[in-house]
Amino acid sequence: MAEELSTKWETPLTSEQNPHIKRGRYSHLTQTDKDVLSRIVEGRACTSGKELADANIDWLRIYRGTSPLLLKPKSTWEVSKILGYCHNRNLAVVPQGGNTSLAGGSVPMFDEVIISLKLMDKIISFNNLSGALVCEAGCTLQSLMDFLDAEGYTMPYRIGPKDTCQIGGNMSTNCGGMHVVRYGSRHAAILGLEVVLADGSILDLVTTMKKDNTGYHLKHLFLGAEGTLGIITKVSLECPVKSPSQHMLFIGVPSFQDVLKIFKKAKYDLGEILSAFEVFDETVMKLINKNLKLPNPLSGESPYYMIIATAGSNRRHDDEKMNAFLSQLEKEGAIQNGFKESRAEAMKHLWSYRERIAVALKREGICYKYDITLPHEKFFDVITELRGVLHPNSPCVVGYGHLAEGDIHLNVIMPQLDKEIQEKVEGFLYPWIQNLRGSISSEHGLGIQRRDEIVYSKSPKGVEVMRKVKLTFDPKGILNPYKVLPSWMDSELTQRNLSKL
C-alpha cells in the first residue's frame, strides 16, 4: 500500500486541529525512558526518520501525532515489559497494526509511544480438522489468506488493505468487510485471544475450542475496543473451508428500488451460497475509472453497480443457480447490463474495483469518511439528502458499501480540509442517523474522529458502563488515550490524580 501514501498534502498536527483536546497528565518521555524501552526491543526501536514519520500519520493523512518513539516488539514478553514500564512511568502508548484505520485510531494524538505489532507475525498452529488457526497479532490478512489457501481453508473476512492490515488490528476494530453476510462479524469466528493488559500482565484467553460458557465472555470485550483495553498479541480464529465453487455477478442497476429488489431475491434464490452483496453509485465508478485507470467492465453506464458473490460446494449446482438468477433479473428489467464470472483470476480483478474504492477516492482529494448503518430502505437516501444540504458548496458526495448489513460508506471529498463543510455535514448527518436508530460507525470504529459522536448511537447509560470498563482495565488511561470514549471524559481518563491510584 506504499503508493497510497504518496500525496502532496501536508497533514497538520491533530493537536493543532483540535485545540480543545488537552494533553493528559502523562509523563514526558525522558532519554532514560527511551534507553530503557529501546533495550527491551534491542535494535528495533525507532527515534527518527521516515518509518517514525509514517507511523505518526494515518492512512487518510488527516491525523498526525508527534510521537518520538516507535517500538517493534517480537514477543508477548517484550510487549509485557514495555507496558509494565510505561504503566509504572505513566507513559501513554498507541498500539499500531497495519495503520489502515479510517478513524484516526492507530496514530498518536500527541507524543504517545507507538507500539507496532508488525514483527509479531508468526503462525503458531492450524488444525486442519476444526479449522482453528492460532497466530500472532501482527500477521497480515493476506499472509493468513495465503497460508490457509494451501490448507484448503480461507479467512472468514476480506477487506481492501489485506496486504497491510493485521489480524490484531482487524480484531481490535472488529472490522467487517465483504463477507459478513456469509460468515458473520469477527465476534462469530473468534475462538480466543492473548492480551497484554495496561500494567503489563498477560491475559491468556487462547483456546481452539468453539464452546466455552465459563462466565463472562471476556475475549469479546477486546473486539472493537481499538486498543483502549489491552494489546492483542495472539489470536485464535475458526476458519471456514475454502469453497470449491465461487462465482460473481457484476451488474449495472437502473434504480435503488431495483437494488433492494435484487437483494431480497438474492436471499431467496441464492440462499446459503450468497457470500457478498456490494453496491456503489455511478460517481464512485467514475472515480474508479479516472483515478485507478480501471475502465467500466460493463458496456453502458448505470446509476448503481453491484457485485454479488457466491461460495458453495457444488460447482454445477451453484452455476445453475447464478445463471437462473441473472437471467431472471434481465427478464424482469431489474438490471441494465451485467455478466457472470467464475474464473479465479478474472474475479480477483473484479474484486479490485470494490476493494480499491477508498484509494480511488483518496486520490481525488481529502476524504471525510462516514461509515454508517441504516435501515436498508434508507441506504442511499442519506446521499441524496446530504447533497441537498450542502448545495451550493457542492463537495463531491459519494456512497458505497455492504448493503446486506445496511452499512454505507458515505464519503465527502474536498480539495482541502474544510471545517465549515465538515460541521455542516455532521450537523445534518448524526441526528439523521440517530432518528433512524442507526449506527454512526458500522465497522471502522470511533477512533479520534467520531469519539464525541458516540452519544448518537449509545445511550448515556451505555457510555457510562464503557467508562467503568475502561477504568477497570486501564485505571491510568495509558492505552490509546483520546480515542473511542468522548473527550469530555478525558479529564478523568487521562488526567487522574495518580496519588489516588
Ligand X SMILES: Cc1cc2nc3c(=O)[nH]c(=O)nc-3n(C[C@H](O)[C@H](O)[C@H](O)COP(=O)(O)OP(=O)(O)OC[C@H]3O[C@@H](n4cnc5c(N)ncnc54)[C@H](O)[C@@H]3O)c2cc1C
Q: Which residues bind ligand X (CB under 6 A)?
A: 59, 94-102, 105-106, 117, 137, 159-161, 165-166, 168-170, 172-173, 175-177, 226-227, 231-232, 358-359, 443-444, 480, 483
Please state the closest distance from residue 169 (CB atom) to ligand X, in A.
Answer: 2
Q: Which is nearer to ligand X, 101 or 336 (CB)?
A: 101
Q: State which H helix or E strand residue 347 sits in.
A: helix 344-355
Q: Which residue, 172 or 310, has its beta carbon nearer to ligand X? A: 172
Of 62 and 359, which CB lies nearer to ligand X in the complex structure? 359
> 395, 424 in Cβ contact below 8 A?
no
3 state DSSP class of 53? helix
Residue 354's H or E segment, with its range, is helix 344-355
Least Cβ distance, residue 94 to ligand X (angstroms): 6
Spatial distance between the Cα atoms of 170 and 141, rounded to a whole number of angstroms:
8
- CB neighbour class for 165 (10 Å; exposed up to 12, middle 13-18, buried from 19): buried
Give the shortest CB-494-to-ligand X separation in angstroms: 15
Whole-number minimum distance, CB 157 to ligand X, in Å?
8
Question: Judged by CB, which is closer to ligand X: 157, or 325?
Answer: 157
Residue among 215, 153, 156 nearest 186 (CA):
156
Contact yes or no for 77/27 (Cβ under 8 A):
no
Report in angstroms how near the CB of residue 317 gets to ligand X at its nearest: 29
Specify the residue, 137 or 334, whose C-beta has the smaller distance to ligand X: 137
Q: Residue for cell digits 461509515?
A: 371
Tell me the closest approach of the beta carbon of residue 330 to ligand X, in angstroms: 29
Number of residue whose CB is nearest ligand X: 169
State the minimum distance, in angstroms, from the CB of residue 414 to ligand X.
18
> Residue 98: what residue type?
G
CB-wise, 258 or 371, nearer to ligand X?
371
Which residue is it, cell 510505561? 86
Q: Which of 68/160 has CB closer to ligand X?
A: 160
Return the residue matching grid coordinates 438474492: 266
Quick one: which of 360, 350, 369, 328 has its CA closest to 105?
369
Q: Name residue 448's amino acid.
A: I
In angstroms, rounded to a whole number, what is the distance separating the alpha carbons of residues 472 and 365? Answer: 41
